[in-house]
Amino acid sequence: MHFDNVVIVEDDYRNYYPISLSTPLSDVVIGGLRYYEHVVLWLMSLGIDATIYVVTREYLARYWSSITKSLLSELGFKYSVKYVHSVEELSGPSLIIHTSLVPRIDVLNRIVNANVGIEVRCEDKVLLNLVGDSTVNNIVYDCNMPILNGIWSVVKWNTDLLRENIKYLINLLGDKVLDSELSNGAIIDERAGAVVVVKSLIEPLAYIRGPVLLGPGSRVLP
């Protein structure tokens, strides 16, 4: 499967009110990262350099193009995210990921490793497809795919995605603690999941139970 672009398309944004009134679904935080950061992390894990486009409502496309900020950018990773309001603005083979699909890296790997041009649907809802490539010749109907259909499903998938993101972040970073102050007297409990600390301060006697991803500027008190 070859693609030059990865395109994230909003689905059913009204199911995410009120947060989606001011935030594209691509930028909703789930599992410690924005939705599009899951895609960035996936591409980095594969060594793929592709431009990411976000298709959202026109007023959000104009607004978010100048303010987008993320944990991965804070870590110094280089990637390109562009906000548009129509797929027609794009050219070249594009992998389209709809926000109804839970952005699990393991699921994306499984689809891409199938090594065929494919479109994945659940009933009449497209979850993922490839456009601009003549090799697309296979439509797969699979309602066992993990699906997001509203704000409560974000809550449902949060912990599972957090565990997965932490696993891939540790592989990329090579460490669990980066540019942080971690007191010797702090208690880090990783029995239920790893703890990753980025540009944060953890005070003496603080207790942290994984899985946890602490981003820049965080301070944990006892």
Bigger pLDDT: 42 or 114? 42
The mean-pLDDT minimum among 23-32, 43-52, 154-163, 190-199 falls in: 43-52
Which pLDDT score, from 0 to 100, does residue 67 have?
62
- Convert the pLDDT of each residue in 136-160 to its tens digit: 567 888 899 999 999 999 999 999 9
Mean pLDDT over the full length of the chain: 90
Domain ranges in the chain with CATH number 3.90.550.10? 5-156
Which pLDDT score, from 0 to 100, does residue 2 have?
76
**Average pLDDT of span 182-196:** 95
Could you tell me how far CA 26 lies from the centroid of its own chain? Answer: 8
**Average pLDDT of span 90-111:** 90
Residue 181 and residue 105: Cα distance in Å, rounded? 30
Q: What angle do CA 153, 54, 144 make, to 5 degrees?
A: 35
Dihedral sign, Cα of residue 154, residue 146, residue 166, residue 22: negative
Which pLDDT score, from 0 to 100, does residue 68 have?
65
Return the CATH class of domain 5-156. alpha beta
Bigger pLDDT: 89 or 96? 96
Q: Which pair of structure tokens corresponds to residue 102?
A: 């839970």
In this prediction, residue 133 has a pLDDT band, given cuts at 50, 70 and 90, of low
Whether residue 113 has pLDDT greater than 70:
yes
Q: What angle do CA 134, 135, 140 make, to 5 degrees?
A: 120
- Convert the pLDDT of each residue in 73-94 to its tens digit: 888 888 889 999 887 777 788 8
Whether residue 116 has pLDDT greater than 70:
no
Q: What is the pTM of this model?
A: 0.92
Which pLDDT score, from 0 to 100, does residue 62 have?
87
